Structure 1
Amino acid sequence: MSGSTTGRTDATRDRDPWRVLVNVAQIPETGLHREITADEATRKAMAAVAELREVISAHAAFDLQPKSDGSYHVTGRVQARIGQTCVVTLDPIENGIDEPIDVVFAPPEQIPEMADLVDDAEESDEETPDPPEPITGGFIDIGRLATDALFLGIDPYPRKADAVFEQEVEAPDPENHPFAALKALKDNGDGKKPKGG
């Protein structure tokens, strides 16, 4: 059993179904490469949170690189296979997910200062990086990073490749248009004066 699931409550799993913690103190100056694969229990929990039929497989690879200012640049990729239901035919289908990950983590006390730099870049129309994520208790949760990226890659309207939504098209009624009533009034009164006029 993976150490990432030890001692976790169901409530914790509901919020963060895939947790894999990396101690930043153990990341060497040259960086750290980690690969993680979700076990069956984790995949079931992820499917429940994302309201998917199933998560068939989920694998992620990360490179964690320390920077001179005490922050960590985390790059990687999550790849998964998920089971969904076609919105057109309601048939079960499978979809692949392949999402890149590029995030900076920083000690919480540094984040306000780094966020100010992001704001300054926005005001000067420079390309703005995303504000950093906080390092919590000296750990970076790469499992949560992988989960967030996986959820981001889910197609909210999955459909089979050959599924076509056919809507019934009715022939337009020539009498049913905005000027039909006006035309009827004109036809009835054309060339005739009202009685008693």
Structure 2
Amino acid sequence: MNDETPGSGGPAGAAPLSRPLMATEVPPEGLDVEIVATEAERDAIAELNNFPALLALTATLRAQRWRGDGLEVTGELRARLRQTCVLTLEDFEIDVAEPIELRFAPPKEAPRPRSRRRDAEPEPVEAEILSDDPPDPLIGGAVDLGEIVSEFLTLALDPYPRKPGAEFVEPSPEAPTDPASPFARLRAARDKA
């Protein structure tokens, strides 16, 4: 954790939205957390994700103990942002609502060295339920709720945003080429030679 205030820019490479939470701060009954991104944080997230503006970003989260020394974070983020349409290159605004569900557990201890004896019994393998993702590591006993919100927003974004109603129309091969086009000028110059 750094001593920078949230949204102050912080050191290079720092998360644009940071709200650290120590696992020890979470009482047995759980903890409700509301995150509202500042203008500077929203600007940094928009720049990081390469869209014109993040107009609003809030998240309502619930942190609770999970399997003893782990944490479970659930909730929802809501955002309003301005994106640029990949077809028309016009800016448009959209609303995003994305559920958040994530589990954290302390990193596992280093495995014990295996016995070199040939008659040694194999160590039992802990079965993992395939439908569940493994928990993320709980490094230093803390999670950064702001980073979680920022990452879930990034994952919710369409990498090729389209303005509502915008459709790609493939030009017909018979359509005349624009003489102002650099390719048309090159073609014309080649044909003259």
> Counterparts of 1:41-60 in structure 2 under 5 Å?
41-60=40-59
> Counterparts of 1:92-111 in structure 2 under 5 Å?
92-109=91-108
> Which residue pairs with 1:26 in the alignment?
25
C-alpha contact 2:107 2:138 (8 A) present in aligned 1:
yes
1:29–1:4 CA distance, 2 compared to 1 (3 A) = farther
> Which residue pairs with 1:185 in the alignment?
none
> Which residue pairs with 1:11 in the alignment?
12
1:163 to 144, 166, 170: 166
Instruction: Using the TM superposition, give the Cα deviation of residue 4 of structure 1 relative to its aligned residue in structure 2, in angstroms.
Output: 4.8
> Which residue pairs with 2:122 in the alignment?
none
2:144 paired with 1:145: no
Instruction: Using the TM superposition, give the Cα deviation of residue 168 of structure 1 relative to its aligned residue in structure 2, in angstroms.
Output: 1.5
Higher helix share goes to which structure? 1
Partners of 1:84 and 1:78 in 2: how far apart?
Answer: 18
Gaps (5+ residues) in structure 1?
172-197
Instruction: Using the TM superposition, give the Cα deviation of residue 64 of structure 1 relative to its aligned residue in structure 2, in angstroms.
Output: 0.8
Partner SS, residue 148 of structure 1: helix
Partners of 1:157 and 1:8 in 2: how far apart?
Answer: 28
Partner SS, residue 109 of structure 1: coil
1:22–1:111 CA distance, 2 compared to 1 (3 A) = farther
Instruction: Using the TM superposition, give the Cα deviation of residue 170 of structure 1 relative to its aligned residue in structure 2, in angstroms.
Output: 3.1
Partner SS, residue 146 of structure 1: helix
Q: Deviations over 1:112-142 (max 9, x none)?
A: 8xxx75xx44xxxx54211111222221111
| Counterpart code for 2:70 | S
Partner SS, residue 41 of structure 2: helix
Q: Deviations over 1:134-176 (max 9, x none)?
A: 22222111101101100011111111212122111236xxxxx
Instruction: Using the TM superposition, give the Cα deviation of residue 110 of structure 1 relative to its aligned residue in structure 2, in angstroms.
Output: 6.1
2:73 paired with 1:38: no
| Counterpart code for 1:154 | L
TM-score, structure 2 normalization: 0.74
RMSD, aligned α-carbons:
2.3
1:4–1:64 CA distance, 2 compared to 1 (3 A) = farther
Partners of 1:26 and 1:165 in 2: how far apart?
Answer: 52
| Counterpart code for 1:167 | E
Paired residues in the alignment total 158
Partners of 1:111 and 1:34 in 2: how far apart?
Answer: 33
Gaps (5+ residues) in structure 2?
112-124, 175-193
Q: Which structure has the larger Rg?
A: 1
